[in-house]
Structure 1
Amino acid sequence: MVVDIDQLRRRHQRRLEEAVAPWREARPEVTVELRLERGRVRHTLLDASREAQLVVAGARGHGGFTGMLLGSVSQALLYHADCPVTVIRA
């Protein structure tokens, strides 16, 4: 199976834009920067927190620890991010 990385990136970018569009409409005064990055989620978000005013993350990811209140990424963000973090439950 051959994967077209550019096509995959465009598809993910579109999905990201569609997910954020209602929030941008509802709160046009809030600036939202969308960044589609490759890398380990925890490290990528911690790096982004150096420039961000706020990071919003889900409470639990797709790891195997379903009984935990917080996933490892959201927990790392709460303890190590360089900006405020809001964790939401889906």
Structure 2
Amino acid sequence: MLDGALRGSAETYRDTTSRRLIEKPARAALLEASSTADLLIVGARRRLGHPGLRLGLITHALLHHAPCPVVIVPQI
């Protein structure tokens, strides 16, 4: 599933992206990955009946603790 979702961007940005399968809590894995990243991109879902984005616990933690810039991309 991951290969299919990243197929287009992985081919375009082959030299600047990497994929790793990590088995640990998402918050810990993303904070660890951000320690060596230039940019961390995460998605956010819109919740029905609520205007704007509602950030979850993981996204909130990344914004406050990641040592690199964090971009939040809303679900379309």
| TM-score normalised according to structure 2 size | 0.77
Gapped regions of structure 2 (runs ≥ 5): none
Shift of 1:41: 0.5
Higher relative contact order (CA 8 A, sep 6+): 2
Aligned-residue sequence identity (percent) comes to 38
Quote the residue 1:22 is aligned against. Answer: 8
Quote the residue 1:51 is aligned against. Answer: 36
* Greater than 3 Å deviation, 4+ residue runs: 27-30
Shift of 1:30: 5.9
SS of residue in 1 equivalent to 2:41: strand
Following the alignment from structure 1 to structure 2, what is the Cα–Cα distance between the partners of residues 28 and 52?
15
Q: If you compute each CA radius of gyration, which structure gives the higher value, 1 or 2?
A: 1
Confirm or deny: 8 A CA contact 1:16 1:34 kept in the other structure: no
Q: How many residues align?
A: 69
1:75 is the counterpart of 2:54: no
Following the alignment from structure 1 to structure 2, what is the Cα–Cα distance between the partners of residues 36 and 49?
15
1:40 is the counterpart of 2:25: yes
Q: Which has the higher helix share?
A: 1
Gapped regions of structure 1 (runs ≥ 5): 1-14, 61-66
| TM-score normalised according to structure 1 size | 0.66
